[in-house]
Amino acid sequence: MTTPETAGAPAFDARTFRHVVGHLPSGVTLVTTRTPDGDHGMTASSVTSLSLDPPMMLACLNRSSSTSMAVSAAGAYAVNVLGQGHEHLAQQFAAPSRDKFAGVRVTEGVLGLPLLADALARIECTVVEEVHAATHTIFLGRVVDAKADEGSPLTYFRGGFGRFEFARDDAVYQRARQQVLERMYAADAVLQLDDLAYQLEVERPAAFYALTRLTADGLVRRDPDRGYVVVPFDSRTSDETFDARCAIELGVLDMVVGRVPPDELTELSSRFATMAALLVGDRFVDFDRYLDANYAFHEGLVSLAHNQSLTAAFGRLSIKTVMTRSFGVTPVTSQDFIDAQRQITEGVGRGDLATARGGVLRYTELAKQRVRQILAQTGGRL
Ligand SMILES: Cc1cc2nc3c(=O)[nH]c(=O)nc-3n(C[C@H](O)[C@H](O)[C@H](O)COP(=O)(O)O)c2cc1C
Q: What is the pLDDT of residue 1?
A: 45
CATH number of the structural domain 235-377: 1.20.120.530
Residues 6+ apart with CB under 8 A from 145: 109, 110, 111, 122, 123, 124
Per-residue pLDDT of the chain (382 residues; tens, 9 = 90+): 445 555 567 788 888 999 999 999 999 999 999 999 999 999 999 999 999 999 999 999 999 999 999 999 999 999 999 999 999 999 999 999 888 999 999 999 999 999 999 999 999 999 999 999 999 999 999 999 999 998 889 999 999 999 998 888 899 998 998 888 877 888 889 999 999 999 999 999 899 999 989 998 888 999 999 999 998 888 888 999 999 999 999 999 999 999 999 999 999 999 999 999 999 988 998 998 999 999 999 999 999 999 999 999 999 998 988 898 888 878 888 899 999 999 999 999 999 999 999 999 999 999 999 999 888 876 655 5
Pocket test for ligand 1, best of 29, 45, 72 (most atoms within 8 A of CB): 45
**CB of 90 shorter than 6 A to ligand 1:** yes
Q: What is the pLDDT of residue 321?
A: 86
Long-range CB contacts (within 8 A, 24+) of 34-38? 34/74, 34/112, 34/113, 34/114, 35/70, 35/73, 35/74, 37/70
Residue 95 alpha carbon, nearest atom of ligand 1? 21
CATH superfamily of 14-160: Electron Transport, Fmn-binding Protein; Chain A (2.30.110.10)
Closest to 61 measured CA to CA, from 80, 74, 45: 45
Q: What is the pLDDT of residue 331?
A: 83
Q: What is the pLDDT of residue 205?
A: 87
3 state SS of 223: strand
**CB of 229 shorter than 6 A to ligand 1:** no
CA of 18 to the centre of ligand 1 (A): 14
Q: What is the pLDDT of residue 166?
A: 85
Give the span between the Cα atoms of 171 and 167, in whole angstroms: 6
- Entry pTM: 0.62
What phi, psi does 6 have (nearest 5°)? -105, -5
Cis peptide before 54 (omega within 30 of 0): yes
Give the span between the Cα atoms of 300 and 272, in whole angstroms: 9
Closest to 197 measured CA to CA, from 209, 187, 186: 209
**CB of 72 shorter than 6 A to ligand 1:** no
**CB of 67 shorter than 6 A to ligand 1:** yes
Going by CA atoms, what residue is nearest to atom 16 of ligand 1?
94
**CB of 62 shorter than 6 A to ligand 1:** yes
**CB of 95 shorter than 6 A to ligand 1:** yes
Q: Where in the chain is the domain with CATH 1.10.10.10?
A: 165-230
Q: What is the pLDDT of residue 2?
A: 45
CATH number of the structural domain 165-230: 1.10.10.10
CA of 85 to the centre of ligand 1 (A): 18
Q: What is the pLDDT of residue 379?
A: 61
Q: Where in the chain is the domain with CATH 1.20.120.530?
A: 235-377
Angle, CA of 72, 29 and 63, to the nearest 5°:
30
Residue 28 alpha carbon, nearest atom of ligand 1? 1
